[in-house]
Amino acid sequence: MIFAINCEICRMQKITFSDIENLLKADRSVRRFDASRHISLDALERIVGLTRYCASARNLQPLRYMAISETEDCDALFPLLSWAGYYEWWPGPDIDQRPTGYIIQCLDTSLTANPMCDDGLHLQAMTMGATAWGMGCCIIKAFNATKLKELFKLPDYIEPRYVLAVGYPAEKTAIVEMGADGNYKYYRDKDDTQCVPKRSLEEILLK
């Protein structure tokens, strides 16, 4: 019954399988942004609001969020982040290509030490929402959690897990087929497009 109701909602709103597929294709990591275009706190909080509709292991809902939009706070957070592990030569976006908003995903450890699958589900929901608004995101796991907690005065039981950089893209991104050599590392091509190799459907299906 619930599945039938959800399908009816999709039909009424004209949401198709192709809509979801195309949104996922467009939802690529962005590492260079237009720093002249500000992201409002309201927009970031609405993006966080999408996580309320995600599935949650045990329905515990233990994740908490901090939205950062003030320029001073963004500037203080930026040096604590590491960008693009495959680009060892690149220290991160220049000052005119930095994100203008951040969402810090945290775990309330007073509820659990393990969010199970919740963190990934939430991150994908937020990046898809931002993409639908014409924005771009970069999910960052490599950051100085200790200094981040000090910077924003987070209590001991709140554990930062991911930082989501948000802004308007200043680079092109594209999905490309993974080559026969199996190289999965993202790269920039001769046109400076950020290319992300993906495995074929035949490879990921077990038969």
For residue 86, is it within any domain? yes
Buried b / exposed e over 158-195, threshold 16 CB at 10 Å, is: bbbbbbbbbbbbbbebeeeeeeeeeeeebebeeeeebb
Percent of the chain residues past pLDDT 90, beyond the cut = 92
Confidence label for 174 from pLDDT (cuts 50, 70 and 90): very high
Strand partners, 177: 198
How many C-beta neighbours within 10 Å does residue 116 have? 14
CATH number of the domain where residue 89 is located: 3.40.109.10
For residue 1, is it within any domain? no
pLDDT given for residue 79 in this prediction: 97
CATH number of the domain where residue 176 is located: 2.20.180.10
Q: What is the mean pLDDT of residues 144-173?
A: 98
- Reading the block at residue 144, the tokens are 């100085």
Cα torsion 18, 23, 29, 34 to 10°: value is 140
Using one digit for the tens of pLDDT, what is the confidence trace for 175-186?
999 999 999 999
Q: What is the mean pLDDT of residues 140-148?
A: 98
Provide the mean pLDDT of the chain: 95
Instruction: State the residue range of the domain holding 185.
Output: 172-207
Residues 37 and 96 in one domain: yes
How many folded domains does the chain comprise? Answer: 2
Terminal Cα distance for the chain, rounded:
31
Task: Map tokens 């950020």 to a residue.
Answer: 194
Q: What is the mean pLDDT of residues 89-99?
A: 96
Using one digit for the tens of pLDDT, what is the confidence trace for 35-53?
999 999 999 999 999 999 9
pTM for the full model? 0.93
Residues 160 and 207 in one domain: no
Q: Which residue has the higher pLDDT, 112 or 3?
A: 112
For residue 9, is it within any domain? no
pLDDT at 206 over 80: yes
Q: What is the mean pLDDT of residues 92-105?
A: 98
Strand partners, 198: 177
Residues 72 and 149 in one domain: yes
Closest CA to 167 of 133, 198, 117: 133
Using one digit for the tens of pLDDT, what is the confidence trace for 51-88?
999 999 999 999 999 999 999 999 999 999 999 999 99
For residue 3, is it within any domain? no
For residue 113, is it within any domain? yes
Does residue 117 sit in helix, strand or coil? coil
What CA–CA distance (Å, rounded) separates 170 from 28?
13
Percent of the chain residues past pLDDT 70, beyond the cut = 94
